[in-house]
Amino acid sequence: MKKILIGISGGIAAYKAVSVVSALKQAGHDVQVAMTPAACRFVAPLTFAALSQKEVRTELFPAHPASDKGQLYPHLYPATETDLFAVLPATADIIAKLAHGFGDDIVSASALSLSKTCVKLFCPAMNTQMWENPVVQENVQTLEKRGWKRVGPESGLMACGSDGAGRMSEPAAILEAINQIPV
């Protein structure tokens, strides 16, 4: 059983993350979901809360300050205790933030709080021209140089109508990559 933190960013492929969270929970993992404000525009946090059976982290600042450390310090808990952090879909924006150390949303702030041993994975998803943009490619390389594992993207037809590289990997491929990680 792994302690898994799934960060959802704001791309249309967020709907595929629903299957990933469901499968990880069914496999017996301790799954916590964090969502950027943009991600919440695509899929309701309630969907992930119901599947993970945990409150979804969407805010950096506690809505209900309480004695629970996760409510008081959402950027630290559960991030500091996580075995595996996976960002899916990973937008061009969140990739830039992760590469440059920003922490102004709950997903990027959690990424800053991970332990040295935490396995970090990201699944890019974006329009082909975005994916091929040199600034995106440089940010991707920065993350990989720092030890982040990348799953995808694949080539194919995307929701925006573009047909090329940038499609997020299917949930089965993401789950296979996660299952291969010895945590």
Q: For residue 87, what are the β-bridge partners? A: 7, 122
Q: Return the number of the residue (60 or 181) whose C-beta is nearest ligand FMN.
A: 60
Binding string, 93-122, against ligand FMN, x = CB under 6 A?
Answer: xx----------x-----------------
- How far is Cα 173 from Cα 116, in angstroms, rounded to an integer? 25
Say whether residue 78 binds ligand FMN (CB under 6 A): no
Which are the contacts of 12, defined by CB distance < 8 A and separation ≥ 6? 42, 89, 125, 158, 159, 160
Residue 40 designated active-site:
no
Binding ligand FMN by CB under 6 A: which of 43, 79, 111, 130?
A: 130
Say whether residue 91 binds ligand FMN (CB under 6 A): yes
Say whether residue 174 binds ligand FMN (CB under 6 A): no
What would the two tokens of residue 41 be? Answer: 């525009």
Give rounded-to-5 percent helix, strand, coil for the chain. 40, 20, 40
Q: Which residues are near ligand FMN by CB under 6 A?
A: 9-13, 36, 38-39, 91-94, 105, 125-126, 130
Show which residues are catalytic.
Answer: 160
